[in-house]
Amino acid sequence: MWLKIVFSLKNNYICPLKDILNKFLTIMNEKEIKSSTKCVRSGWKPKSGEPCQLPIYQSTTFKYETSREMQDLFDLKANGYFYTRLQNPTNDFTAKKICALEGGTAAMLTSSGQAANFFAVFNICEAGDHFIACSSIYGGTYNLFGVTMKKMGIEVTFIPIDATEEQVQAAIKPNTKLIFGETLTNPTIEIFDIEKFAKIAHKNGIPLIVDNTFPTPINCRPFEWGADIVTHSTTKYMDGHNTLVGGCIVDSGKFDWEAHAEKFPGLTEPDPSYHGLAYSKAFGNEGAFITKCTAQLMRDFGCIQSPQNAFLLNLGLESLAVRMRQHNENGLKVAQYLEQHPKVAWIHYPRLKSYTHPELAEKYLPSGCSGVMALGIKGGTEKSIKFMDSLKLVDIVTHVAYSQSCILHPASHTHRQLSDEQLRAAGINPELIRLSVGIEDADDIIADLEQALDQI
Ligand code: PLP
């Protein structure tokens, strides 16, 4: 069956390709629409008599009226979805909305943010390849790159977020295939200088992948600064309501795979598992990356988002612009309160005047930098934990970036698999607390923080 799908992709017959091409057209027509409108209107566009809300295609497979129709599908004479392990219409309409928000040419949903980052890198790198990642990234991604992908024969070099061009250049080897960073780093809340890293990547004929989870396209659109591929943990602000785990990959369509064909054989040379299909030749710069990722990695790994989750994600996206405005506003108010508190040793929140790189905040996050911040309590880890345990409204959870305010101590929670040395390399000191300011009333959040600080 897969061979038939492959072959049909090559011949532009079935839905995956057709749908990606539809994405191009819709998105090109939407260039002038504002982000708030895209949040509500992009993606699913009902025709006369169709439901206003995106339908959930909660089905593993797709029925055809007659044996002949099915036969035509297998004979590559008709279009249609086959099997939800590869693609599902609910997912595709939701991906289309995120694609429009980021200003890309094609996108796909994955089962998690981890899967999105894995797929984005593994769609380019093969065993024997090397890539560069900023060391200040989410602990799970750090582990995926540094430990798990190493077992697959893919080597990573972590570089500091403030690495100079010379330092980055020195880390690039003949087999280096990409650079990876997070726009707003988790959990240190530093800004990754996208334009700087994009220029270095492009000078070396390799793409820049940016995880844009925390800013969301409401606060920053990495493609405007030269990033080639954007990933998301849609589990965070995009869902926004603590309901689903999911991810998304968006392609800018700008990276010229053919111009550096020798570096990217997986994208430019015939794929033996697909009857010799060469993605860059069949789908161009706009479609090669996502088509390969869907048709090859999703086929083989099956990390698809469930249609139910894609529906919930689409619903979350409808209010993303409104919610991000409130997260930005509340985040700044809370950060300003904490900054002046005598028991707070330090705070990282890029929109504060004290932020070490205000020029980066102004450039990349002009409308705000979300509700996430990192801080240290005077007295170190013991006091930090006492402070967290004293909170009543703000929840201690392994989560971040959604409607409810929450808090976490990375060294003992999300990053506990990292050694002290790795923690330091990621810029995380043991007392660091990550606070995620929700959309409750800012005064109530501040009152809770105040009563907890009073107790230490
Ligand atoms: N990227 C970033 C920036 C994250 O913060 C996370 C998780 O916290 C991930 C990726 C992984 O996402 P998920 O938990 O959806 O797999």
- Torsion sign across C-alpha atoms 290, 85, 28, 218: negative
Tell which one of 188, 212, 236, 402 to mutate to probe ligand 1, the residue whose CB is within 8 A of the most ligand atoms: 236
For ligand 1, the distance from its centroid to the CA atom of residue 400, given in whole angstroms, is 9
Helix/strand/coil percentages in the chain, nearest 5: 45, 15, 40
pLDDT, averaged across the chain: 90
- CA distances to 63, 175, 297, 345, 432 from 377, rounded to whole Å, are 59, 43, 44, 5, 8
Is residue 30 within 6 Å of ligand 1 at its C-beta? no
**pLDDT, tens only, 110-130:** 999 999 999 999 999 999 999
Closest CA to 332 of 240, 437, 448: 437
User: Is the per-residue pLDDT at 78 higher than 60?
Assistant: no
Task: Please count the residues of the chain.
Answer: 456
Say how many CA atoms lie within 13 Å of 236 toward its Cβ: 28
Span 91-100, pLDDT tens digits? 999 999 999 9
Give the tens place of pLDDT for each residue, 279-296: 999 889 999 999 999 989
Indicate the pairing of strand 155-159 with strand 247-251.
Answer: unpaired
Is 422 a residue whose pLDDT tops 80? no
Distance separating alpha carbons of residues 439 and 60, to the nearest angstrom: 36
Question: CA-CA distances (angstroms) from residue 233 to 174, 208, 239, 308, 408?
Answer: 31, 17, 9, 17, 18
Q: Could you give the CA distance from residue 252 to residue 320 in angstroms, rounded to a whole number? A: 21
Of 100, 58, 134, nearest to 306 by C-alpha is 58
pLDDT value for 76:
39
Residue nearest to atom 15 of ligand 1 (CA): 113
d(CA 311, CA 437): 25
Q: Are 195 and 224 in contact (CB under 8 A)?
A: no
The owner of tokens 């409607």 is 403
**Residue 378: which pLDDT band, with cuts at 50, 70 and 90?**
very high
